[in-house]
Structure 1
């Protein structure tokens, strides 16, 4: 493979390293759900034993970095109840991104979907409802019927959708999660952990528009019609804790009261998961205390925005020169407030097995954040435009230009 960087690219790398010398305790990238998970700095602080005292397990995570700020029995497999719908919503958002479904498309409700018990929006067999409204039904009211209707539309059957859920769990590296349905209704070996729920939520929150749904406190379906249905969010913290805009509650007799919550305050987004609380009051109290702890003790500093140009891709055999290479996701630092933290540097490592043509978004390298020769994080670098092979005239012209330069 040819040397794809000119001297100016190395200058950019050096300047980037100097520019982002900063204090850090943990740095990582906000990963796209389809990307391989990189090493996370899961340095939890369990000295505050009063946190999550009512819950069997819990975790507190900063979203961009994946840094674990607190954990309690975070790897204990437990029934997740309707928090299962975090994965269901993740597959829905992926399908919307891939345009295999659209928000305004109407879905005909099957007998199977309409027959679901538990939390529901009372869909009737043969009724048609838009994907947008069904998604509201899942995100706000935790509708089991809406979840299955969407599962059937996306995968063709509920069974195939569950297979997709487990495939996605494996892709995300969720070793202690196994799904039997898209709803969270009780089933043997339908389990997850607080840590896996937080990782799932990081993947879901990559789709920023999801909080437009999970952050709704109340709304209507079929508004103005005879069968109008009032949606009220099962996550009361959306209304009563400033900054909370998701994600999913859960309850069954076996699972007890569970909640995966997310909040964004001062540009820092956190994820708090509690499982197995005895009452909704205790569940909400545990989550509120975790969020208080996060925002009282920690802060973040962004390094790169998603899509920010880091260097250029200048390849003699390509039809375009100086194509921007950009970060595929945001990169941040999270650290304790008022604490001096060590300097870091960034470095670019380009892949050596890249071949033309390249489509926009193709991974061509990694941005590494390094502290004392230890790689703290990696995020994918992608090309910002399509690139094809240069034609004969382009090659000839560039060869001459290279010769005279």
Structure 2
């Protein structure tokens, strides 16, 4: 038992040495008042999904045409961009904003994505949904299921274009998660950063030239998207992204004014992004290699087993006010037999007492359990040699 108490003491000392605490009297990110017009807003680290700041970030709200981020992702993942899409009567009669596609016309699916995201065409969204999902309703169900798959559990899609509908809602947090997922797709990025696009209807060669309506692309260095939106219920909405100096920030503003305040969404987004760029820097919080003492083995053919931290380096964007703590949890001893590459503990990383990640600690060797032959060999060696 003496060895156990000694090991417990050493683990405690090691945890204290490994962890570090930043002591200050500054206010936390949650207390920052950016004085936005938006009724709900969020700032997210686009690389890992960590929320850096929020205001009513999990409040359910209508989200207007920011819906079309998910519409595009469903097409990119389940559709064939070379398909011919035939326009239905329902699609041709969708309300503004319209590309004014006509019943019976045919378009290349890939071309329609540019009209969808650059000009936010509602008739195009219906045509896309019917083609890829079989119906608007089936397509909306695909959207909702995909949202849950990527971690947006508080989102329900009823339309592919974001027009107000009962049961059609999301949150600032969910939209940021969806945007993070979308920005990992290079085809999606190519579409949202395109300034203009020309294409033709396939049967009568009618010509179209669509232009990107995202003014944010010209308002901040490193702006890369993502999608605007407006309905009477949602107000002005915008999902934005900035990539600069190795940092990727995603912001969402919902209910950021109503007519005649269309500029509020840009002002709000710039405030959020400037706060992010001014206050967050990349820091390494876990080194790739950490020396760990072996763990004592009970009834093993050797007295201890080496262990190692798996997962590599951990780095993330932090501000000066955030407190980082790292705790190691490993057992005092292990009972033989022990297999190689088995998880026996964790290194837990906390940001402001919130668990950020857990890295596994695994054995690097196997240890067999002692048996009669092993004990007999020890006795023979001790008394005969």
Task: Give the TM-score normalised by the residue count of structure 2.
Answer: 0.67
Out of 262, 277, 280, the position equivalent to 2:256 is 277
DSSP-derived class of the 2:29 partner:
coil
Hey, which bits of structure 1, 4+ residues long, moved more than 4 A? 21-25, 301-304, 337-345, 372-375
DSSP-derived class of the 2:281 partner:
strand
Matched residue, 2:356: 376
1:278-293 equivalence runs, <5 A: 278=257, 279-293=261-275
1:49 aligns with 2:29: no
Q: 1:122: how far off? A: 1.8
Matched residue, 2:92: 114
Out of 299, 313, 319, the position equivalent to 1:336 is 319
Deviations 1:316-357 (A, max 9, x none): xxxxxxxxxx99xx9752222698966799x9xxxxxxxxxx
> In the aligned structure 2, how far is the partner of 1:231 from the partner of 1:341?
48
Q: 1:182: how far off? A: 0.8
Matched residue, 2:367: none
DSSP-derived class of the 1:280 partner:
coil
Structure 1: any 5+ residue segments left out of the alignment? 1-20, 26-42, 96-100, 305-325, 348-364, 381-405
> In the aligned structure 2, how far is the partner of 1:137 from the partner of 1:332?
38
> In the aligned structure 1, how far is the partner of 2:132 from the partner of 2:358?
32
Residue 324 of structure 2 contacts residue 349 of structure 2 at CA under 8 Å; is this kept in 1?
Answer: no
Q: 1:133: how far off? A: 0.8
Matched residue, 2:3: none
DSSP-derived class of the 1:277 partner:
coil
Matched residue, 2:120: 142
Residue 200 of structure 2 contacts residue 206 of structure 2 at CA under 8 Å; is this kept in 1?
Answer: yes
Segment drifting more, 239-248 vs 57-66: 239-248
1:5-404 equivalence runs, <5 A: 45-51=29-35, 53-95=36-78, 101-222=79-200, 227-278=206-257, 279-300=261-282, 332-336=315-319, 370-371=348-349, 376-377=356-357
Structure with bigger gyration radius: 2
Residue 349 of structure 2 contacts residue 358 of structure 2 at CA under 8 Å; is this kept in 1?
Answer: no
Q: 1:301: how far off? A: 5.5
Q: 1:303: how far off? A: 9.8
Q: 1:281: how far off? A: 0.9
Q: 1:194: how far off? A: 0.7
Residue 65 of structure 1 contacts residue 331 of structure 1 at CA under 8 Å; is this kept in 2?
Answer: no
DSSP-derived class of the 2:182 partner:
helix
Segment drifting more, 188-197 vs 370-379: 370-379
Structure 2: any 5+ residue segments left out of the alignment? 1-17, 287-309, 331-342, 361-385
Q: How big is the alpha-carbon RMSD for the aligned residues of Structure 1 and Structure 2?
A: 3.6
> In the aligned structure 1, how far is the partner of 2:322 from the partner of 2:122?
46
Deviations 1:44-99 (A, max 9, x none): 71322134x2111100001112111111111221110111112212212222xxxx
Q: 1:238: how far off? A: 1.4
State how many pairs are aligned.
Answer: 296
> In the aligned structure 2, how far is the partner of 1:267 from the partner of 1:81?
31
Task: Give the TM-score normalised by the residue count of structure 1.
Answer: 0.64
> In the aligned structure 2, how far is the partner of 1:120 from the partner of 1:303?
49
Change (3 A) 1:378 1:150: farther
Deviations 1:355-382 (A, max 9, x none): xxxxxxxxxx9xx8633899633699xx
> In the aligned structure 1, how far is the partner of 2:279 from the partner of 2:211?
32
Q: Greater relative contact order: 1 or 2 (C-alpha under 8 angstroms, separation 6 or more)?
A: 1
